[in-house]
């Protein structure tokens, strides 16, 4: 099985295929065990470039039985194979600013909007609000659904929501996942996130508040 891009979920499958504990797998990769723990908590995570290479190496050196177990674990069940990972994204704005978080494992494109995985039965709008509060301490309210798409990098089904700031100043409340959280001027957004990675309706909606 070829892996184009490692996700937290695939990394966890590789750990399980090796039948390693969290600490053993972290030691094999040369990372802190908390990094592995974060993949279990947020399987949609895309590890940084050097971690992608480390996971490639561990996989390439795996014995055939390990590769076979990995292929079985990574294969989605038949009834869910066509379902993409669903993520709710909050584009929170206030007075010409937009809220961003800086992921520790995001490489050159570390800055992004607060986001969270939508579990079966959950409402995307609620997830967007809850993840924003949980990651940054900022209270917000969804005002508009901007649309959805399959993310060009992660392949996740992304649901985008324009939200209004209600209360609170940003703080990094998820230090395992993020390194910072702050308001940035809407006019400077593309200095933090490349234009080609921003869902176009986001830019259109924010222009009215710039």
Among residues 207, 162, 34, 209, the alpha carbon closest in space to that of 104 is found at: 34
Alpha-carbon span 173 to 51, nearest angstrom: 23
Specify the pTM: 0.61
Evaluate if residue 210 carries a pLDDT over 70: no
Alpha-carbon span 86 to 81, nearest angstrom: 13
Taking only the tens place, the pLDDT of each residue in 37-52 is 889 888 888 888 899 9
**Comparing 177 with 101, which gets the higher pLDDT?**
101
Alpha-carbon span 93 to 112, nearest angstrom: 14
Q: How many helices (H) and strands (E) does the chain have?
A: 8, 7
Evaluate if residue 201 carries a pLDDT over 50: yes
What percent of the chain shows pLDDT beyond 90? 60
> What average pLDDT does range 165-172 have in this prediction?
95
Residue 131 confidence (pLDDT): 94
Burial 118-139 (b: 16+ CB within 10 A, else e): beeeeebbebbbbbbbebbebe
Residue 80 confidence (pLDDT): 45
Alpha-carbon span 80 to 65, nearest angstrom: 25
What percent of the chain shows pLDDT beyond 70? 92
- CA angle, corner 207, sides to 186 and 160, nearest 5? 80
Taking only the tens place, the pLDDT of each residue in 56-96 is 999 999 999 899 989 888 876 554 444 568 899 999 999 99
The domain defined by 86-207 folds into Nucleoside Triphosphate Pyrophosphohydrolase (3.90.79)
In this prediction, residue 126 has a pLDDT band, given cuts at 50, 70 and 90, of very high
């Amino acid at each position: 099985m070829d892996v184009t891009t490692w996700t937290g979920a695939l990394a966890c499958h590789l750990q399980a295929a090796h039948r390693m504990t969290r600490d053993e797998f972290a030691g094999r990769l040369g990372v802190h065990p908390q990094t592995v723990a974060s993949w279990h908590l947020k399987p949609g995570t895309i590890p940084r470039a050097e971690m992608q290479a480390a996971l490639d190496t561990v996989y390439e050196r795996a014995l055939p039985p390990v590769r076979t177990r990995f292929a079985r674990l990574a294969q989605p069940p038949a009834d869910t194979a066509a379902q993409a990972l669903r993520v709710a994204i909050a584009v929170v704005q206030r007075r010409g600013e937009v809220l961003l978080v800086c992921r520790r494992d995001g490489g050159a494109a570390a800055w992004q909007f607060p986001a969270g995985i939508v579990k079966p039965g959950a409402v995307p709008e609620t997830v967007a609000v809850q993840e924003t509060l949980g990651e940054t301490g900022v209270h917000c309210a969804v005002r508009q659904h901007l649309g959805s798409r399959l993310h060009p990098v992660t392949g996740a089904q992304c649901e985008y929501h324009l939200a209004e700031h209600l209360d609170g100043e940003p703080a990094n409340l998820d230090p395992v996942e993020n390194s910072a959280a702050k308001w940035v001027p809407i006019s400077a957004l593309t200095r933090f996130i490349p234009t080609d990675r921003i869902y176009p309706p986001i830019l259109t909606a924010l222009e009215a508040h710039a």
